[in-house]
Structure 1
């Protein structure tokens, strides 16, 4: 299969591309930014924006399936400026669904693990991503050629995730790089709220396997899964648990005592005492189980080692 991956230059997409290539598929990377990444054998690049229906349709015409990841991310960022997320996450997804339906292609759409929080006053990111899920259900129910499988990962983490200020240039702060970078430089880890909230994390390599498997299931059966496929761990932990684990692994790397945990007020769009978990039984629809996923302790250790090796030397040199 030749697979169109929208948002193909992003973090999760980079792991999905590796997985697809390992399975013998070809990949067409669709992204609005040409980041001059070296392409692997079997990869091509298409410069385009999912808000451009013509570009999306043209790219889809040359592919056998679509994995749709392109989105405007962020919680606080999309509250203060909701229009870009609405245009990309809703209208952009509509363009992808329309193109996939036109060519009767299997489509896998990246939903969000906290989709239920759209009813609790969360950010525009969750609202818009969940709205696109509703559109996917409409296409599947009423449009000939509608074959859209929804995959809902919780917080994906792992090597290669971008780093936000003050340690990097990313505009969106993610839990794993934020915790790891602070711990490695000897600064207390910042946790929003009291840290008792549960926000499950899943290793990005496992997320990639689920997306690729879901696409193959759709292609082989000619239909989407009956229910969204939720991607997360079997066992949940609190944000405080994650922070303490990262501090411990960073201490092993640096040889310094573990850093502490500093609690900050919750940010707009965050729900106190939230519980963001997955119904991992939905993985059975595509023949997978979370029991095979990388355990959290091993995934966090790999992630801390990655930032210690690939990020820390350059940061210290520039400091």
Structure 2
């Protein structure tokens, strides 16, 4: 199968591309940033923006299936500036779904693990991604060619995830890079809120396997009845995650574990939040979370990655 991956140059997209190639698929990587220099064998590149319906339709004409990841991310960022996320996450997704229906293509859409937050107040990212998920149901029910499965990962983490300020240039803060970089530099970890909130994390390799399996399933059997939720079998608090990172980083750099500092929650974050997944939904595509990388092992791999690829340059700067 030749697969179009929108947002394919991003963190999750890069891991999905590796999984697709490992399974013998070819790729058309669709991204608004020119990353063709990073292509592997079996990959082609299409420079375009999902907001451009013509570009999306042209790309879809050359593939057998779509994994749609392209989105504007961020919780606080989309509150202060909601228009880009609305244009990309809703209208851009609509362009992808229209093109998929036109060519009768099996499609997997990347939903959000905290989709329920839209009912209690959150950022435009969750609102717009959930709105696009509503569109997938419309296409599946009423449109010829509507074959869309939604995959909802909780917080994906792992090697290669971008780093936000003050340690990197990303505009969106992600939990594992933020915790890892602080711990590796001997800086207390910052946790928003009291840390008792549950915000489950799932290793990115498992996320990639789920997306590709969902696409193969959709191509053969049609869309799943329910969204496929990707997360661990056992939930932990943000404090638990922070402690695991601090303890392993201490082993790596030979220091005492750093402390944990609690900060006020930011706009769009829900006090006492519970972000988990219904892992039984994985059965729809023949998967189980029992096979996923355990949190302690995933954190070890992730901290090792930042210690080996980011820390030396940061310390030398």
TM-score of Structure 1 vs Structure 2, range by shorter chain:
over 0.9
Rounded Cα–Cα distance in structure 2 between residues aligned with 1:122 and 1:30: 29
Q: Runs of at least 4 residues of structure 1 off by over 4 A?
A: none
Partner residue, 2:308: 309
* 2:250 counterpart SS class: helix
1:198 aligns with 2:198: yes
Rounded Cα–Cα distance in structure 1 between residues aligned with 2:262 and 2:37: 37
Rounded Cα–Cα distance in structure 2 between residues aligned with 1:283 and 1:138: 22
Which has the higher mean CA deviation after the structures are superposed, 115-124 or 29-38?
Answer: 29-38
Rounded Cα–Cα distance in structure 1 between residues aligned with 2:262 and 2:177: 17
Q: TM-score, normalised by structure 1?
A: 0.99
Rounded Cα–Cα distance in structure 2 between residues aligned with 1:206 and 1:260: 30
1:286 aligns with 2:288: no
- C-alpha spacing 1:37/1:244, structure 2 compared with 1 (3 Å): farther
- C-alpha spacing 1:204/1:37, structure 2 compared with 1 (3 Å): farther
* 2:229 counterpart SS class: strand
Partner residue, 2:78: 78
Partner residue, 1:42: 42
Rounded Cα–Cα distance in structure 1 between residues aligned with 2:212 and 2:247: 33
Partner residue, 2:90: 90
**C-alpha deviations, 1:61-96, integer Å up to 9, x for none?**
000000000000000000000000000000000000
1:233 aligns with 2:232: yes
Deviation at 1:220, TM superposition (A): 1.2
Partner residue, 2:260: 261
Gapped regions of structure 1 (runs ≥ 5):
none
Rounded Cα–Cα distance in structure 1 between residues aligned with 2:288 and 2:267: 34
* 2:149 counterpart SS class: strand
Deviation at 1:38, TM superposition (A): 2.0
Partner residue, 1:65: 65
Deviation at 1:36, TM superposition (A): 4.6
How well do the aligned residues superpose, as a CA RMSD in angstroms?
0.5
**C-alpha deviations, 1:72-125, integer Å up to 9, x for none?**
000000000000000000000000000000000000000000000001110000
* 1:132-281 pair list within 5 angstroms: 132-221=132-221, 223-281=222-280
Cα pair 2:244 2:296 within 8 Å, conserved: yes
* 1:160 counterpart SS class: coil
**C-alpha deviations, 1:8-44, integer Å up to 9, x for none?**
1000000000000000000110000013542110001
Deviation at 1:265, TM superposition (A): 0.2
Rounded Cα–Cα distance in structure 2 between residues aligned with 1:118 and 1:41: 41
Rounded Cα–Cα distance in structure 1 between residues aligned with 2:62 and 2:35: 22
Rounded Cα–Cα distance in structure 2 between residues aligned with 1:126 and 1:267: 15
Rounded Cα–Cα distance in structure 2 between residues aligned with 1:124 and 1:74: 8
* 1:227 counterpart SS class: coil
* 2:5 counterpart SS class: strand
**C-alpha deviations, 1:137-192, integer Å up to 9, x for none?**
00000001000000000000000000000000000000000000000000000000
